[in-house]
Amino acid sequence: MKEFLDLDRRFVIAHRGGARRRPENTMTAFDDAVALGVDAIELDVHLSKDGQPVVIHDATLERTTNGRGAVADNTADALSRLDAGWAFEDSGARPFRSQDIGVPSLESVLRRHRNMRFMVELKGASTELARRAIDVVRRWDAVERVLFGSFSDVTLGAVREHAPECLTSAASSEGVWALIKSHLWIGPGRPAYQLFQVPERRPWLRIVSPRFVRLARNAGLPVQVWVVNEPDDMRRLLSWGVTGIISDRPDVAIKVVGRT
């Protein structure tokens, strides 16, 4: 994963495996992203009832599966037997329903794709999730191909304390502080994180700008932007010096960065 600190390279990262191509955060999506030739896959994890990191974005099941209730109220085995292709829609059709596509565990993903880089988004403020995810990553000798991210200072603090060998992106508060400093033309200095993974903007606030990217790069910190699905946006961000495009359409991003 250290190659992601290379400021002279451009990387395509499949957001949730490529959420506009396949059911998000499923093995089907990850298989597709690998076949496309992406540089990395971004995925989200929660803890199951039996304490296993499982790959799903929401804390509840309704949006992406045929299940009901909280992820934390179900065992990893029960989650794996849900239909995680249930909600995916393509041109009005539901092509992935009843295809034995369950909610995978982080362990199963790292075991299946042993040469792929993963950006693991730890959901919520949970030191236990951080520790258990670290255990899985170490068990599968995946430290060199996993980068941890989270909105939570608590969660990323636990990663940095218990696994200082792992790369982490900036937490939300760290990103906000860097943004404030950038408006004063002050760089982020020497922070605990190794790169930024940020949206270009929020409804009320622009985050990524040529100035922000320049100051980050001057500090040796790459900027990766999510979620970027339009080719013109990809080209503009890359022209500013952004090094990573995190996209629901990794096939489009691959074409933009000149892989095909």
Instruction: Provide DSSP, 52-104.
Output: -EEE-SSSBSTTTSS--SBGGGS-HHHHHTS-TTSS--BTTB-TTTTS-----
pLDDT band at 260; cut points 50, 70, 90? very low
Residue 144 DSSP class: G
Report pLDDT digits (tens) over 14-38.
999 999 999 999 999 999 999 999 9
Q: What is the mean pLDDT of residues 160-171?
A: 96
Give CA separation, 203 vs 73, 174, 199, 200, in Å: 33, 19, 11, 10
Strands 223-226 and 244-247: what pairing? parallel
Residue 160 is predicted with a pLDDT of 97
pLDDT (0 to 100) of residue 36? 98
Query: Helix axis angle, 172-183 relative to 210-218, nearest 10°?
Result: 100
Q: Which pTM was predicted?
A: 0.96
Q: Please report the pLDDT score of residue 4 as a whole number.
A: 85
Amino acid found at 11: F
* CB atoms inside a 10 Å sphere around CB 8: 5
